[in-house]
Structure 1
Amino acid sequence: MENPELDQMEDKVMISAQTTPTCTAPKRGGWTTFPFIIGTVTGLTLAASGWSVNLMVFLIRKFNVSSIAATKINNVVIGCNSLFPVVGAILADSFFGSFSVVTVFSFVSLLGMTMLTVIAGVQSLRPSECPFGSLNPCEHPSWLQYLVLYAALALASLGVGGTRYTIATMGANQFDNVKDQRDFFNWYVLALSVSSIISSTAIVYVQDNVGRGLGFGICLVSNAISLALFLFGKAFYRKIIPKGSPFVSIARVVVSAILKRKMVLSLTESDYYYGTEMPKMGHSAATRSFRFLNRAALKTENDRKFDGIYRKSWKLCSVEEVEDLKTLIRIIPIWSAGIMVSTTIAISGNLTILQALTMNRNIGSTNFKIPAASFVVFNLISTIIAIIIFNRALIPLWESLTHHSPTPLQRLGLAYVINIISLVSSALIETQRLHVVRTHGLTHRPGSVVPMSALWLVIPMSILGIAEAFVPVQIGLYYQEFPKFMKDTSTAVVSLMVGIGFYLGTAIIDVVDRITGWLPNNINEGRVDNMFWLMVVIAVLNSGYYLVCAKLFKYRHNDDVANEESNIELIAH
């Protein structure tokens, strides 16, 4: 017969044996791993941003690809860079663990960078260069040249997908303290931002003015160094062993609840299956929310095996598995609200580049002109400054005045408001730009520089950067609230949210372009300001939706308090 107390004692002994350090084994986890992980993040991001941020120019100038085709290829690559992390996270959570996934995909990224460097350096892998302004048709890439290019881009994108967010989870796994985990996520976003700034400025300059072979070569070296650094810290990492696909567990709960849908819920704790361990008071009891799922853990005589013991099956799940699925159901509305935020950011980012192309981008009276795509740097710089000010000054001040920290949902709500302010400022600046266009009679003169400084665009980009300073809060929220067996997936869903928002933004632009005249090829003839105001309306409505979701949301770690008040209270029909 089963002896729960004996099983519990054996489990404690096993856990103690696994977690108690010996005199010969180094202590794993903690801040000792920080230099290795953050160094790896910095190097990999430097390499990834170095090839992706200037991809369109590379395709147009070196592969003689038309601007429209280059835009489509670039859109596909950006979408893949945002969606592939989910694949890497599932592999880490289900089968291989974070360390193995980051190692393998760092090497895949290295292969992609090697191919891009070779393509940039070997003329036979590219079509003959087409002189600027040539009246003769340019040579198109051959199918073999396209094949090599797409293979390189696929490998490089897979490398980004398997590392960027998986390593974020691995870094947080090194800490037990929630504060340390939040601090790590702040450093993680800072590393991403700093690396992206360097790539968007220094490496892009090398590619455009010195040579793309050298520029890609720098990315290749950065990738190789980061991989070596990551492997060098292997002895210090705390590794989480995956326990199989989390989606199988989710499917089992749904199937079991459906199969037992006609059963009446019990109020007796012993009628529910808790796995090999008996429930701890106030921690494992089934909660009242989404109570129809509790049937999945309800024991019946048909669930008892031939030896008289209950075991997991497609008809019986543990209470913990049921509660994990409930946690996902609770967090999905909060996550879904972020999709529209990503959509507005994607649209405003594209429109800002179009604005910059028509405006005076010279610095003062000098001849130095800021590249239109480089205005994203102001966003990144603002994000870095905002993270430092929030965490070193504003939050400590808030805590000293109120004696408690602002909750993650409160911080995200503030980010939503700041995003709206950014969109409003973009709309007002575009209104002024169109006024200047009409005043100087430039409406029907495409290519003319509007006598208005593009530095005005720094205002909305900087405000948007302040909003994006709350990305670590978002990552940390998902990391804390997702089930423990889905930690890698928890951070990757941020990338999934961005990917969906990017594609949705493209769809919205296409629809608006079809039914209105706001977005012609010459934006001086259009009403981009109306597009920004449309984004403001969408952002306001989405913020209202977020407030409702936040009001109804219940933090996972607060379930203990509720359960102490009513340990096993279950609501039947």
Structure 2
Amino acid sequence: MADTNAQQQFHDQLSQAESQTAGIDLKRGGWITFPFIIVGVMGLSLASWGWVSNLMVYLIQEFNVKSVDAAQIYNIVNGCNNIFPIAGAIIADSLFGCFTVITFSSIASLLGLILLTLTATLHSLRPSEGETPSRLPLGVLYSALTLASIGLGGMRFTIATMGADQLAKAKDQGVFFNWYFFTLYMASVVSFTAIVYVQDSIGWGLGFGLCVGTNAVGLAVFLAGKHYYRRMKPKGSPFISLARVLVATVRKWKLVLMSSQIQSNQSSYYYAKTKDSKLPSSAPSSSFSFLNRAALQTEGDTRPDGSIAKPWRLCTVEQVEDVKTLFRLFPLWSSGIFLSTPVGVQISLTILQALTMDRHVGPHFQIPTGSFLIFSLLSTPITISFADRFLLSKWSKLTGRSPTPLQRIGLGHVFNIMSMASSALVESRRLHVVRSHHLEDQTSSTIMPMSALWLAVPLAIVGVGEAFHFPGQVSLYYQEFPMPLRNTATAMISLLFAIGFYMSTAVINLVRKVTNWLPDNINQGRMDYVFWMLVVIGVANFGYYVVCAMLYKYQNVGLESENQEVQDEE
């Protein structure tokens, strides 16, 4: 018992020393901060999803934007909402810290939503029916969307990081993340149903006004906990270390390294380690050997005490190996781009389909167009729960091991292809109804006798796919990324979404230029051909992924699996 107490005391002292080194104020933080942060997450997320979810319908109905053009704007906005979090994380890590970035982003979001509400309430800030919007309404609208996107992007990941920073134990951090993701899902569900219903059925001004109110409440509650928060000092972005390796490699490009020199002149490389370093003092690996130049010492690179004098000319061997790890992961990561691109196309085109279909459920209730994405949002958490409690355990019993992250991602690819095929079949059925009722020459907003609930099927399937490939990618990047980069591993997922939405915009533009499948009146087009095209490209992308997965060798996941198997045998 005495030994146990001594070990616990030593562990506590070590943790305290590490916390002080990292710049953590141990007198603050803890679970007392949880209500302030989680209510802030709820309020800010309700506001964010409240305006994003129904944006396309607002552009079409209130700003007279053509349907496909509205889809393009919607995709660009979603791309920004997924790329801004990366910029927010970098700024928080390297310059200002999480609290400042969250506060600034929340204020920017509030200002953007106020402007958006003004466009819905002031007649001078939106065009008359049937008229093309002038510069002033468009300028105010785009300013509102820019500010709101900055706000959404700046707080999405930083507020999660700040919440985890308040808790010292990994178990408590895990509990916080569970509540964080639960809150995000609840906020998205409420936004895609209640707030969208208010916008469609009562008024856009009131709907956007609710977003302003929830944003203000979330910001106020978050700021109310200011004196309780534990704040981490900015430690510098890990991306700077990556940039230094690339710059140092270019600056030393003329140095010629022979393979024999790589093995024999180990003393020529810089091996200084950080406290988290686990790399043995061995020569740099032979893969991507051109990067080894960054760790090769030349005259003037170091000071007399052995420290680096020119950080943009000399890097440690460990930093070089970290960059090589990212290079090895890049092919797998790149295959995920076309997991997001079809989803971006599907989301925007599904809203256009829903506008032409019968959205009534019963005689008195009509599903808002922007609420259809709720089928995907609900499908994902339901599938995750079902897979975690049933499918994965059955897999483990049958195979003797848990499914690897790469296997989960592969299943996500398959369901993604199935979803596009399902969308193509639904659209073929919709076009058949259009022709049988001679609605080709009617406007795209003409309601046809076909239930929009058919659209729930492909959306639910894509949600199932996300339940497999999204956790699989998070697990893969977190476990395989170098230790200094694990905090930014999830940002790679956000980057995939951003590129996917931008790519979806490019795909739609290309289709419109090369074919007549997507006219302004979709009843006269062949949207089903667009989905079948995505199926073909998805199959090719899946083949590329399989090749990359077969060639990839786990760095950490494989070791952990082996250790787990040994424990199971014991």
Range class of TM-score, shorter chain = 0.7 to 0.9
Q: Give the CA deviation at 1:318.
A: 0.9
Deviations 1:371-406 (A, max 9, x none): 333211111111221122223333344445555432
Coordinate RMSD, CA, aligned: 3.8
Residue matched to 1:451: 449
Residue matched to 2:370: 373
- Listed as ranges, the matches of 1:345-364 within 5 Å are 345-364=343-362
Residue matched to 1:313: 311
Q: Matched residues in 2 for 1:548 and 1:86: separation?
A: 29
Structure 2 vs 1, CA of residues 288 and 329 (structure 1 numbering), >3 Å: closer, same or farther? same
| 8 Å Cα contact 2:75-2:348 kept in structure 1 | no
| 8 Å Cα contact 1:42-1:192 kept in structure 2 | yes
Q: Give the CA deviation at 1:508.
A: 1.7
Residue matched to 1:49: 49
Deviations 1:510-564 (A, max 9, x none): 2223333333344344332222111111111111112222233344535989xxx
Moved more, 200-209 or 284-293: 284-293
Query: Are residue 262 (structure 1) and residue 248 (structure 2) matched?
Result: no
Q: Could you tell me which of 270, 274, 298 is aligned with 2:271?
A: 274
Which structure 2 residue ranges, 5 or more long, are not aligned?
Answer: 1-11, 561-570
- Listed as ranges, the matches of 1:14-25 within 5 Å are 17-19=17-19, 25=26
- Listed as ranges, the matches of 1:27-426 within 5 Å are 28=29, 36-59=36-59, 73-118=73-118, 120-121=120-121, 123=122, 126-127=125-126, 130=128, 143=136, 146-171=138-163, 188-232=180-224, 240-258=232-250, 259=252, 261-263=255-257, 264-267=261-264, 270-275=267-272, 285=282, 286-300=284-298, 302-306=300-304, 311=309, 313-364=311-362, 366-399=363-396, 402=399, 404-426=401-423
Q: Matched residues in 2 for 1:419 and 1:547: separation?
A: 15
Q: Give the CA deviation at 1:217.
A: 2.8
Q: With structure 1 as the length reference, what TM-score do the two structures score?
A: 0.81
| 8 Å Cα contact 2:71-2:349 kept in structure 1 | no
| 8 Å Cα contact 2:118-2:125 kept in structure 1 | no
Alignment identity in percent? Answer: 51
Q: Matched residues in 1 for 2:16 and 2:157: separation?
A: 30
| 8 Å Cα contact 1:518-1:531 kept in structure 2 | yes
Residue matched to 1:467: 465
Q: Matched residues in 2 for 1:64 and 1:519: separation?
A: 18
| 8 Å Cα contact 1:340-1:539 kept in structure 2 | yes
Q: Matched residues in 2 for 1:124 and 1:539: separation?
A: 45
Structure 2: which amino acid aligns with 1:191? Answer: T
Q: Matched residues in 1 for 2:104 and 2:449: separation?
A: 51
Structure 2 vs 1, CA of residues 491 and 113 (structure 1 numbering), >3 Å: closer, same or farther? same
| 8 Å Cα contact 1:253-1:296 kept in structure 2 | yes
Q: Matched residues in 1 for 2:184 and 2:210: separation?
A: 17
Q: Give the CA deviation at 1:419.
A: 0.8
| 8 Å Cα contact 1:207-1:215 kept in structure 2 | yes
Q: Matched residues in 2 for 1:69 and 1:438: separation?
A: 25
Q: Give the CA deviation at 1:421.
A: 1.4
Q: Give the CA deviation at 1:237.
A: 5.9
What secondary structure is seen at the aligned counterpart in 2 of 1:303? Answer: coil
Which structure 1 residue ranges, 5 or more long, are not aligned?
Answer: 1-11, 562-573
Structure 2 vs 1, CA of residues 178 and 476 (structure 1 numbering), >3 Å: closer, same or farther? farther
Structure 2 vs 1, CA of residues 374 and 536 (structure 1 numbering), >3 Å: closer, same or farther? same
Moved more, 188-197 or 484-493: 484-493
Q: Give the CA deviation at 1:488.
A: 5.5
| 8 Å Cα contact 1:81-1:161 kept in structure 2 | yes
Q: Matched residues in 1 for 2:91 and 2:334: separation?
A: 23
| 8 Å Cα contact 1:520-1:526 kept in structure 2 | yes
Structure 2 vs 1, CA of residues 44 and 277 (structure 1 numbering), >3 Å: closer, same or farther? closer
Structure 2 vs 1, CA of residues 250 and 280 (structure 1 numbering), >3 Å: closer, same or farther? closer
Q: Matched residues in 2 for 1:288 and 1:171: separation?
A: 41
Q: Matched residues in 2 for 1:554 and 1:236: separation?
A: 45
Residue matched to 2:563: none
Larger RCO (alpha carbons 8 Å, 6+ apart):
1
Q: Matched residues in 2 for 1:537 and 1:269: separation?
A: 50
| 8 Å Cα contact 2:71-2:348 kept in structure 1 | no
Structure 2 vs 1, CA of residues 550 and 161 (structure 1 numbering), >3 Å: closer, same or farther? same
Q: Matched residues in 1 for 2:174 and 2:125: separation?
A: 46
Q: Matched residues in 1 for 2:336 and 2:103: separation?
A: 30
Structure 2: which amino acid aligns with 1:504? Answer: M
Q: Matched residues in 1 for 2:108 and 2:436: separation?
A: 54
